[in-house]
Structure 1
Amino acid sequence: MAEPLFLLDMVLALILPLAGVQLGRHAGRLRSGRPVRRWPLYAVLAIAVVRAAVAVLLLLTSGWAVAGQRVLLGLPVLVLPLGWALVAARRGGPAATAWHTAAMGALASSFLLFVPPGPQDLTVAALGCLAVLGGAAAVSRFSAAHRGPAAGRLARLPWQGLIASAGVAVVLTGLATTAPSDHSGPHASSADWGGGSQVAQAAPHHGGHHSTAPASAARSVSTLTGPRDTTPDVRFHLTAARGKVRLSSGRTVDALLFNGRAPGPRLTVHQGDLVEVTLSNKDVREGVTLHWHGVDVPNAEDGVPGVTQDAVPPGGEHVYRFVPDRAGTFWYHTHRDADSTVRRGLFGSLIVEEPRGGQPAASGHVRTLFTHVWPGSGVSFGTHDTPMREAVRPGDPVTLKVVNSSEEPQRLLVGGVSYRVTALDGNTVDHPGRLPSGTDLLLPAGGRYDLAFTMPTGTVTVRAAEGEAALALSPDGHGAPARLGEGTLFDRLTYGRPAPGATTVPDRYDRDFDVVLDSGFGFADGQFTYGNTMNGRMAPDVPTLMVTEGDRVRVRITNRSVTDHPMHLHGHRVQVLSRNGTPATGSPWFTDTLNVAPGESYEVFFTADNPGIWMDHCHNFSHTAQGMIMHLAYSGVVSPYHGTSH
Structure 2
Amino acid sequence: MYGTLLLIDMTVAVLTLIAAPVGGIQATRRWMVVLAVLAAARLVLALLLLTGGVLLADTRLLIQVPLALFPAAWAVWKPSRTAAHVSAAGGVLSVWWLLAPTAPQDAPFVLAGSAVALALVAAFGRRRLLWLAVTVLLVPGVTLTLNDRANAAATGHQHSGIRQLHVDQLTGPKNQTPDVRVTLVAARGRVTLDSGRTVDALTFNGQSPGPEIRARKGQLVEVTLVNENVSEGVTAHWHGVDVPNAEDGVPGVTQDAVMPGARHVYRFIPTRTGTFWYHTHRDGRLNVRKGLFGALIVEEPTPYEGYERTVFTHAWPEPGALALDRADRPAREAVAAGRNVLLRLVNSSEEPQRVQLAGTEFRVAAIDGNAVQAPTPLKAGTGLVLAAGGRYDVTFTMPAGPVTLAGAADASLAFSPDGAAAALPSTGGDTFDPLTYGSGPAPAGGPYQRTFDLRLDDGFGFSEGRIGFVSSSINGRLYPAVPSLEVDRGDRVRVRIASRSTVDHPFHLHGHRVRVLARNGAPATGSPWWTDTLNVGSGEVYEIEFVADNPGIWMDHCHNFMHASNGMVMHLAYTGVTTPFSEERIPE
Q: Give the TM-score range, shorter chain.
A: over 0.9
Distance 1:445 1:513 in 2: 23
Distance 2:490 2:35 in 1: 52
Distance 1:139 1:512 in 2: 45
1:149 aligns with none
2:427 aligns with 485
**Alpha-carbon shift at residue 70 of structure 1 (Å):** 1.4
Deviations 1:376-410 (A, max 9, x none): 32310001101111111111100000000000000
**Alpha-carbon shift at residue 8 of structure 1 (Å):** 2.8
**The residue matched to 1:361 in structure 2 has which SS?**
coil
**Alpha-carbon shift at residue 21 of structure 1 (Å):** 1.8
1:194 aligns with none
**Alpha-carbon shift at residue 543 of structure 1 (Å):** 1.4
1:522 aligns with 461
Q: Label 1:616 to 1:370 Cα distance change in 2 as closer, same or farther (>3 A).
A: same
Q: Among 71, 80, 89, which residue is 1:104 paired with?
A: 89
1:75 aligns with 65
Residue 164 in 1 paired to residue 106 in 2?
no
Q: Among 15, 38, 41, which residue is 1:47 paired with?
A: 38
**The residue matched to 2:35 in structure 1 has which SS?**
helix
Corresponding letter in the other structure for 2:236: L
1:630 aligns with 570
For the 8 Å contact 2:120–2:131, the answer to whether it is kept is no
Residue 133 in 1 paired to residue 118 in 2?
yes
Q: Among 513, 527, 550, which residue is 2:452 paired with?
A: 513
1:290 aligns with 236
2:488 aligns with 548
**Alpha-carbon shift at residue 233 of structure 1 (Å):** 1.2
Instruction: Give the 5 Å matches for 1:82-93.
Output: 82-89=72-79
**The residue matched to 2:45 in structure 1 has which SS?**
helix
Q: Label 1:264 to 1:518 Cα distance change in 2 as closer, same or farther (>3 A).
A: same
**Alpha-carbon shift at residue 439 of structure 1 (Å):** 1.0
**Alpha-carbon shift at residue 46 of structure 1 (Å):** 3.2
For the 8 Å contact 2:151–2:479, the answer to whether it is kept is no
Corresponding letter in the other structure for 2:420: H
For the 8 Å contact 2:223–2:267, the answer to whether it is kept is yes
For the 8 Å contact 1:271–1:353, the answer to whether it is kept is yes
Q: How many residues align?
A: 582
2:273 aligns with 327
Distance 1:571 1:388 in 2: 36
**The residue matched to 1:58 in structure 2 has which SS?**
helix
For the 8 Å contact 1:178–1:536, the answer to whether it is kept is no
**Alpha-carbon shift at residue 298 of structure 1 (Å):** 0.7
1:233 aligns with 179
Distance 2:559 2:369 in 1: 17
1:590 aligns with 530
- Percent of aligned positions that are identical: 51
For the 8 Å contact 1:446–1:619, the answer to whether it is kept is yes
Deviations 1:342-362 (A, max 9, x none): 0000000000012xxx4x121
Give structure 2 stretches of 5+ with no counterpart: none
Corresponding letter in the other structure for 2:137: G
1:113 aligns with 98
Q: Among 56, 59, 66, which residue is 2:56 paired with?
A: 66
Instruction: Give the 5 Å matches for 1:241-390.
Output: 241-354=187-300, 358=301, 360-376=302-318, 377-390=320-333
Q: Label 1:401 to 1:372 Cα distance change in 2 as closer, same or farther (>3 A).
A: same
2:390 aligns with 447
Q: Among 555, 567, 571, which residue is 1:615 paired with?
A: 555
Residue 456 in 1 paired to residue 396 in 2?
no
**Alpha-carbon shift at residue 329 of structure 1 (Å):** 0.3
Distance 1:605 1:530 in 2: 31
1:573 aligns with 513
For the 8 Å contact 1:128–1:173, the answer to whether it is kept is no
For the 8 Å contact 1:421–1:429, the answer to whether it is kept is yes
Which has the higher mean CA deviation after the structures are superposed, 374-383 or 339-348? 374-383
**The residue matched to 2:78 in structure 1 has which SS?**
helix
Give structure 1 stretches of 5+ with no counterpart: 28-36, 90-94, 141-154, 188-200, 203-211
Distance 2:59 2:398 in 1: 51
Which has the higher mean CA deviation after the structures are superposed, 280-289 or 525-534? 525-534
For the 8 Å contact 2:153–2:481, the answer to whether it is kept is no
Q: Label 1:224 to 1:183 Cα distance change in 2 as closer, same or farther (>3 A).
A: farther
1:17 aligns with 17
Deviations 1:74-93 (A, max 9, x none): 1111101111111102xxxx
Which has the higher mean CA deviation after the structures are superposed, 266-275 or 64-73? 64-73
**The residue matched to 1:407 in structure 2 has which SS?**
coil
In the TM superposition, structure 1's runs of 4+ consecutive aligned residues that sit over 3 Å from their partners are 173-179, 181-187, 212-215
Distance 2:118 2:411 in 1: 56
**Alpha-carbon shift at residue 636 of structure 1 (Å):** 1.1
Distance 2:76 2:106 in 1: 31
**The residue matched to 1:505 in structure 2 has which SS?**
coil
Corresponding letter in the other structure for 2:527: S
Residue 420 in 1 paired to residue 411 in 2?
no
Residue 534 in 1 paired to residue 474 in 2?
yes
Distance 2:20 2:513 in 1: 48
**Alpha-carbon shift at residue 138 of structure 1 (Å):** 3.0
**The residue matched to 1:642 in structure 2 has which SS?**
coil
Please state which structure has a larger fraction of its residues in strand: 2
Distance 2:13 2:583 in 1: 43
Distance 2:216 2:97 in 1: 51
For the 8 Å contact 1:395–1:456, the answer to whether it is kept is yes
For the 8 Å contact 2:29–2:76, the answer to whether it is kept is no
**Alpha-carbon shift at residue 411 of structure 1 (Å):** 0.5
For the 8 Å contact 1:386–1:470, the answer to whether it is kept is yes
For the 8 Å contact 1:124–1:177, the answer to whether it is kept is no
For the 8 Å contact 1:419–1:452, the answer to whether it is kept is yes
Residue 497 in 1 paired to residue 482 in 2?
no
**Alpha-carbon shift at residue 181 of structure 1 (Å):** 6.6
For the 8 Å contact 1:413–1:463, the answer to whether it is kept is yes
**Alpha-carbon shift at residue 43 of structure 1 (Å):** 2.8
Q: Label 1:80 to 1:177 Cα distance change in 2 as closer, same or farther (>3 A).
A: farther
Q: Label 1:182 to 1:391 Cα distance change in 2 as closer, same or farther (>3 A).
A: closer
Deviations 1:518-576 (A, max 9, x none): 11000011112111211111111111111111111100000000000000000110011
**Alpha-carbon shift at residue 214 of structure 1 (Å):** 3.6
Deviations 1:200-225 (A, max 9, x none): x86xxxxxxxxx6643xx21111111
Q: Label 1:254 to 1:182 Cα distance change in 2 as closer, same or farther (>3 A).
A: closer
**The residue matched to 1:266 in structure 2 has which SS?**
strand
Distance 1:234 1:66 in 2: 47
Deviations 1:213-259 (A, max 9, x none): 643xx211111111111111110000000100000001000000100
Distance 2:388 2:550 in 1: 24
For the 8 Å contact 1:547–1:608, the answer to whether it is kept is yes
For the 8 Å contact 2:358–2:381, the answer to whether it is kept is yes
**Alpha-carbon shift at residue 110 of structure 1 (Å):** 0.6
Distance 2:90 2:304 in 1: 63
**Alpha-carbon shift at residue 66 of structure 1 (Å):** 1.2
**Alpha-carbon shift at residue 183 of structure 1 (Å):** 6.2
Distance 1:522 1:445 in 2: 24
For the 8 Å contact 1:12–1:51, the answer to whether it is kept is yes
